[in-house]
Each structure stands twice: as C-alpha cells, then as structure tokens.
Amino acid sequence: MNPTAQISYNNVTCGNGNENCGNSVFKNTKIINEIQITLQQSTDNEKSEILKWIFQFEPPNRHKRVCTDRVGGVGNWIFETLEFVNWAANGSTFPNILFCYGEPGVGKTFISSLVIDTLISRHGNDNVGVFYLYCDYLTPEIKTATDLMGALLKGVLAGLPGLHEEIIQEFNKSKKHMGRTLGLEEIEKMLKAALASFRRNFICIDALDEFPVENRPALLRSLENIIQDSPGTRIFLTGRRHIRDEVERLFAGALQIISIEPTKQDISIYITERLAQDQITNKAIDDNLEKEIMSVIPQTLSGMYVKAITRQNQIFLLVALTINQVLSEPTISKRRKRLREMTKGLSLEGVYKGMLERVRDKLGLEVLMWLSHSERPLHADELCYALGIVIESTDHDRDNVPQIEALSKYCQGLVVVEKQTSTVRLMHLTLQKYLRDHPSLFERTHSLIAETCLTHLNFQCVRNFSPTLHSAPTETPFLKYASCYWGEHARKESTERVKTLALKLLNQHDKHISAKLLLLEKSWPWGHDLDGIPDGFSGLHCAAFFGLHEIAISLLHAEVTDFRRKDITGSTPLTWAARNGHKRLVRLFLKWGYFDPEAEDIGECTPFSWAARNGHKGVVELFLQESAINFETKDCFGRTPLSWASGGGHHGVVKVLLDRQGIDPETKDHSDRTPLSWASGGGHENVV
C-alpha cells in the first residue's frame, strides 16, 4: 500500500468553546462574492445525508488521542517565537500561513495539537472558528485536493445549525445524476461562504508531507484561494523538511516558517512526567537510577544534535522509545542495564532492531506483519479474529482467538490500541517504514494474509450467510476486510494455495456475501441502493476487479461463465480491469476478443471512459490501438473520456488523448462545461 492521507476532523469550535456553534451567528443573510447565501434549517437526517455526500468517510478523532499522549509544558516555546506571534495576530499586515517543519519523530503532531488547543482556549468566546485536520499515511480514503477540501468543508458545516440553500440545491440535483459529487471549485466556493460566517478562522493541517505528492500542488493552490478571498483566515501547516521548498514556492510573502526542534527542557519535562507516572504503579526505581536517567538520556541526545545538526534526527521519538523500554523492565538492576544498552550508539534504527530482537513470540511477529502490511488500519476485533484463523481450516475456532490485551505485551510496546476507535496501529510511521524496509523479518507476507482471508471466506459459516446482507454479521468482524482486500494481497504475492482457495471462493461468486460487501465498500455508485444479491458479479468479474491474471486465465479456460454478461452495475470483466488499471488483464481480454470494449455500464461509461477517468495511461494507450472504438463516447453526464481525465488532473492521459486525431477538446457536457473548465476548476495547472 502506498502512503496516502487520511483526514481526522472535528467540528468548528466557537462561541463558548463547545464544538457546536449557537444560532445567533447565522441570523442574517450575507452577501459573499456577490452570491446571495441564505441559511436554511434542515432536518438532522437530511443534513447527515448531505454531509456524507460532501465527504463519504467518518475518520476517527485523532486529535483526542494526540492530546491524551501530550505532556504538559512540552512545546510551549513555539508561542514565544516571533513567527507565531505575528501569524496569530489580528491584522492584515501579517503573513496568513505558518509552516512548521521537522523530521519524523521531532514532535510535529504534538505541536499541532498544542497549537489547536491553544487557539481554542484563546478564542473560545470570540466568534472565531478553529478547524483542524490530520493527514495520516495509513489509510487510502483521502487522495486528492477535492477529497481533503471536501473533508474540511464537511467539518465546518457539521458545526453549523443550518446549511446554505445552494448546497441543498446541489445535493438535490445530484440525486438526478447518480449521486454526482462536488468539484474542487464548487467546494472552495461553499467553504469560503461558510468561513465568512465567522470574524476570524484558523485552519490547521498536520503532516502535509503524508498527503500524496502528486496532488499537493492542487491542495496548496486551493488553500491559497481560500486565504485570498477570506482575509480573516490563518492557516497552520506542519510537514517534513523535504516539502519546505514546495510550500515556500507557492506562498512566498504570505509565509512564516519555524523549524521544530525539541529543546533540552522539553526532553527533561517529558522524562520527569514519565518517571512520575511510573512511580505511581511501580517501585522499581531509586534516587540514583532516577538521576542517571535524567542525566544520561538528555546528554546522549544532546550529543546527537551536535553530530547531526544538519539532518535533524528523530530526537523526541528516541526519547519516548528509550524511556519506555527502560521502564518496561521489572527491577532496578535490569532497568539500569537496559538504560546503558539503549543509550550506547543510540539511533532510531538501532532501537527498533533491539526491540524487535526481544519480540520472540510468534504471535508478536504475526501482529507486526499484519499491521505493517494491511491495506488499511485494523480494528482490534478484526486483528484478533484474523490471528485466530488456521489456514485451510473449514470453520472458525473461537478458542484460538487471542485477547487484545495480550498483543501489546507480545510486541514490546511497538503496538498501540486506540481506545476511542479500537484501532490497532504501530507506534510510529518510522516503524512502518523500518518493517517494510526489512522484508526478511517476515516470510511470504502478502500470500499469508491472502490465504488467511480466503480461508475465512470459505468457512462454511460464512458461506451460509445470505448474499442479500448489507453488512457483515457482528460475529465475523474480519469478514469485511477479507472480502475487500484478499485480492489486493493475492495480486502482490500468490501461491498455489492462494489460487486453489481463490477458485473455491469464486465458484458462484455472486451468491457469496463477499461479492456484495466488496461492491458496497469499493464501487457502488452513491445514491443507489444495492438490494438483493449482486447478480452477475461472477468470479471472473472479481478476478478482473483485483487484477488477478493467473486466476482469470483459469476461469477463462474453465468456461464457467458467460464472458459477455454484465453484472448488477452493468460492468463486464473488461470494465473492471480497465476501471482499476490492470493493464495486463485488459490486454488479455482484448486479445481473447470475447469482450465488447464499448459496453456501457449503468452510468453509460465504457471501459475506455473508466480508464481515462481514473488516470490509467497504460490502459488508455491499449484502447487507443483499437481503431473500432469511439473515443469520444459520452456518459450519462455528457462527459467524454477527455473531460474526466482533465477534471481528475491526469496529465499523462490528457496528453495521449489530445495527441489522437479526432478528439475534440471543446466538447461540452450536460452542465455546459468543457474539459478545460473541469481542469481549471479542479486546480490542475499541469493540465490547463
């Protein structure tokens, strides 16, 4: 899984400091950018539907967890810097944007949470909006500027008592067009209107470097548009050092910059707090050991600063790892020995290596394998259920499921369970990178995960579930992950056992509950119900969806399905292969000649349209070699493949399409928009 960003957002904080704002702010009609915006009360159900339409996902409140882990007094130095004072000041003469940078492990996210809470505290009774988002490399829901700005808009609107009439009208129009979603330009306009309801606004975005690099320019330009038309808005950003030039190039004079470096005082405060917490529950410490800890760790880390001042080592993370490992020992003698081991030749890689050497139990290694290679974060009950599955068994043994409380113990503190969301995660993104950079730690990672998923899907108890269910039964918490991701793991690494288990699952696949769960989670058009069984979504459709080449060949040779048959979405196997960018399978299907390359789905999209829409240049080039295809086919929105590629910012696809004679760049859709207007509205300067 490539690092991607997830957003965790909270509602606006204003007025009395509570998360929801009072109605008094919205009594009057406002004129914003010569567009009359009126606020209209809506029912809770309608508002919930509209917010889901703006941004579908409901990420956890990461801010609460970060605040819980934060130590009071650490990081307060930032509020004394001239850069922060000028940025936070109420006046148009000061820069609108503050960018704080540093390497992984220096405490950027803790600084973000501290800034957020301080702004809320300072402006709790001053009609000031404070909005915040945390980018997270673990989850794939946020990929584009449209996604992130939509999440921000949703967070702002969630705290308002009513919705702008314009938003409600757009929502009602979308119902007539298969749930058409908002474009970036529309989101920006609505966000500016909502922000204008407050005297001032602060937008805080943490870990900008974890947002996909190819989409960061569009996001930064979108933020620039916000501050240009909303002069009362201040933006706080954090990220790693390597994106500093990127941020500076765009914002130039509107930017203040701070380098985040934990001070020796920060380190001492943190260690003191951890020792105080330890003494409440553990007596394995005396004055001499405490003095040694307070002396050795800061002194060792100060030496590291001198040696590596230009590259900013992960100082604060090393402090946390070191003190936690020392305090995990049961006696004073063992703690003193562990302290000397940990601080000898101290480096992040060395610390991780030493900690992993202490993970001797097979269960601990399995936990680390799953968490470092899963396609999304796993909930505690999902992980425990998966760990209890015996590959190739025929049914589930509940007595083989480990307890979540044991996992952290087996993993030497490298695993954290978030209480609010019951999500299990690695303790830091640098650990994720370390584990992936050392594949010898685990054997056959993806094939083992695929085998586990497929074993579960082939359980008789799972096969007995009705294929009409809209969600996984509570007694099988791992079913949704297994249904939606087994193929991702199988594509990355396969074995004969994977193939055998997969072919068993794919027999009469549309009668299996996993088919419906996959469509509902990954591909079903918003605004339409998927009732009954997912008729026609055969084993070959599923193999094409995931790009499983060898399995697809086996199914083709077995001739167990009508190759031309469309599934409940109107898609053929060729549609799914093209839509998801599986070039090798598209080539195979075109070569066999059984599939219609111009077959339309329920949205009147062809396989070629989907390939262009999702930016799969290699697949588009394959279709361009097929002279019989209409390359300007229009879907139910009147949009052509070029229109979709332009609106998505897919520069490579746009180029190959424009190089093709006969493709008209001025074609208008049902909204009277051209490909150029879609590219411009999405902030895709590289396409324009």
Q: What are the C-alpha distances in Å from 658 to residues 371, 627, 630, 655?
A: 43, 16, 15, 5
Q: Three-class SS of residue 235?
A: strand
Q: pLDDT tens, 476-524? A: 999 999 999 999 999 999 999 999 999 999 988 989 999 999 998 887 6
Q: What is the number of other CB atoms lying within 10 angstroms of the CB of residue 47?
A: 19
Amino acid 62: pLDDT: 77
Under CATH, what is the fold of the domain 45-259?
Answer: Rossmann fold (3.40.50)
Phi, psi of 106 (to 5 degrees): -90, -5
Q: Where is pLDDT greater, at 636 or 684?
A: 636
Q: Where is pLDDT greater, at 75 or 564?
A: 75
Q: Where are the domains of the chain?
A: 45-259, 264-346
Position 431 pLDDT exceeds 60: yes
Q: Which helix (H) or strand (E) holds 129?
A: strand 128-134
Position 527 pLDDT exceeds 90: no
Distance CA(343)–CA(303), nearest Å, equals 11
Q: What count of residues does the chain have?
A: 688
Distance CA(559)–CA(553), nearest Å, equals 10
- The order of strands in the sheet holding 423-426 is 378-379, 423-426, 415-418
Of 192-196, 326-330, 681-685, the one with minimum mean pLDDT is 681-685
Phi, psi of 418 (to 5 degrees): -80, 115
Task: Tell me the pLDDT band of 67, cut-offs 50, 70 and 90.
Answer: confident
- pTM across the whole model: 0.76
Position 468 pLDDT exceeds 80: yes
Q: Where is pLDDT greater, at 149 or 296?
A: 149
